[in-house]
């Protein structure tokens, strides 16, 4: 195991308990409104805590519903509601699995180009041998820096 695979394993271990949160959807009217209503705080009272008008609180709650609320504003509202904002990216699958899938995809692309050239030279490879070649190449590609780069894609600096 190298440093990157150790880092992936550690991060996957930290993220695994959070996977159940994916199904936890934001309340229809947003978290700010849900918490505010649950604790019995009016829009005017929240506004007073934030130093904004009741109308501005309404606009804030609408921006949260639309997903356009600014991070700093959300943190201020959470603080006014005695809450914390929790932020993380939750990969849709384990990181190790994502890296291996990308390595296989990249290996398959490379071998498809080689296979095309081989067919032109009348040298084909059996399917099971091709699958083994993909796995072998993928294992070598996993920790390369260019694993996620796309051929022909321009990198901006």
Domain ranges of the chain: 3-80, 95-141
Longest dimension (CA), the chain: 79
- Could you tell me the pTM of the whole model? 0.71
Give pLDDT, residue 118: 57
- Please give the span between the terminal C-alpha atoms of the chain, in angstroms, as a whole number: 31
Q: What CATH class has 3-80? A: mainly alpha
* Token pair listed for 144: 């390369």
pLDDT in tens, 27-82: 999 999 999 999 999 999 999 999 999 999 999 999 999 999 999 999 999 999 99
Q: Are 10 and 25 in contact, with CB atoms under 8 Å apart?
A: no
Buried b (16+ CB within 10 A) or exposed e, 2-30: eeeeeebeeebeeeeeeeeeeeeeeeeeb
- Kindly state the DSSP code that residue 25 receives in the 8-state scheme: P
* 119-145 mean pLDDT: 77
């Amino acid at each position: 195991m190298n440093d990157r695979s150790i880092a992936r394993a550690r991060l996957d271990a930290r993220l695994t308990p959070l996977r159940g949160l994916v199904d936890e959807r934001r309340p229809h009217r947003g978290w700010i409104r849900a918490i505010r209503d649950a604790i019995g705080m009016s829009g005017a009272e929240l506004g007073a805590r934030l130093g904004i008008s009741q109308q501005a609180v309404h606009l804030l709650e609408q921006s949260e519903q639309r997903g356009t609320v600014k991070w700093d504003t959300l943190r201020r509202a959470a603080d006014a509601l005695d809450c914390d904002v929790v932020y993380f990216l939750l990969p849709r699958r384990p990181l190790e699995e994502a890296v291996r899938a990308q390595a296989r995809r990249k290996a398959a692309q490379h071998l498809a180009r080689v296979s095309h050239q081989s067919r032109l030279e009348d040298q084909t490879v059996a399917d099971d041998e091709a699958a083994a070649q993909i796995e072998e190449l993928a294992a070598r590609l996993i920790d390369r820096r260019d694993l996620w780069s796309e051929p022909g894609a321009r990198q901006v600096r």
